[in-house]
Amino acid sequence: MISIIVPIYNAERYLDGCMDSLLSQTEKELQIILVDDGSTDGSIAVAKNYTAHDSRVELYTQSHAGQSAARNEGMRHAKGEYIAFVDADDSLEPEWCAQYLKAIEGVDYVQGEAPRNRFTYTVVWGRLYRRKAIQNLHFEEGMIYEDILWSVDLWLSGATCRMIDYKGYRYTANPHSTTSQRHPEAEKRVFAELRKRLPRASLKGKMIILYTIIRLKLHFIKQ
């Protein structure tokens, strides 16, 4: 079973599209975990409509604490052998779960090392994880760019990956998202957190961290 974690914050405009894509997956063994992070719009009403009509959908609520806290809360409720993260303003092609499940179970996949641009500087959505591989990781709460630190910690743990020639994740460029503009203080914090990991990292880990820092600096300069 795949547990899909969807953090929600004022996503009323997008949530129907996201949920319809999840419920339309050809892979039916799903646990869809919605975590509302103190929305002030109609997001909860939309979410409750889905919980009322499909037993695979679960809704949890919390006071506004950020996307990291919402993802951590979702992971506490995950029961599936596999976990995926989907943002509430994004959606999946119908075959997404089935395709990635085949890949992670070793059926009809193309295997290889991740290209460098995906290996360190990455986001958490658009991937399928074994729950046992990430169950001891947590998202740093109260900060932006938390997915970068989480991804680096995953690689530092010795995780391996399989790649397939399929995407199927429909990303929405939301002008109101936290990453649609620069946040200088948040940038300083993520660099500080990355540097804190350097002393205890292996040689390969140090290379991953330094490469991530360089890519981040280039990314922020271009914004």
Domains and CATH numbers, the chain: 2-222 (3.90.550.10)
- Does position 75 have pLDDT exceeding 80, yes or no? yes
Confidence at residue 42, expressed as pLDDT on a 0 to 100 scale: 96
Give residue 99's identity as a one-letter amino acid code.
Answer: Q
Q: How many residues does the chain have?
A: 223
**Digit-coded pLDDT (tens) for 78-130:** 999 999 999 999 999 999 999 999 988 876 546 444 444 444 457 899 899 99
Residue bearing the bigger pLDDT, 177 or 170 = 170
- Residue 180 pLDDT grade (very low, low, confident, very high; cuts 50, 70, 90): low
What's the CA gap between 212 and 204, in Å, rounded? Answer: 12
Q: Give me the pLDDT at residue 182, please.
A: 74
The DSSP call for residue 139 is P
CA–CA distances in Å: residue 196 to residues 93, 145, 151, 189: 38, 16, 15, 11
d(CA 42, CA 51): 15
Residue 178 has pLDDT above 70, yes or no: no
Pairing between β-strand 169-170 and β-strand 57-62 as defined by DSSP bridges: unpaired
Give CA–CA dist 206/64, Å, rounded. 35
Q: Tell me: the pLDDT tens digits for 18-67?
A: 999 999 999 999 999 999 999 999 999 999 999 999 999 999 999 999 99
Per-residue pLDDT band for 206 (boundaries 50, 70, 90) equals very high
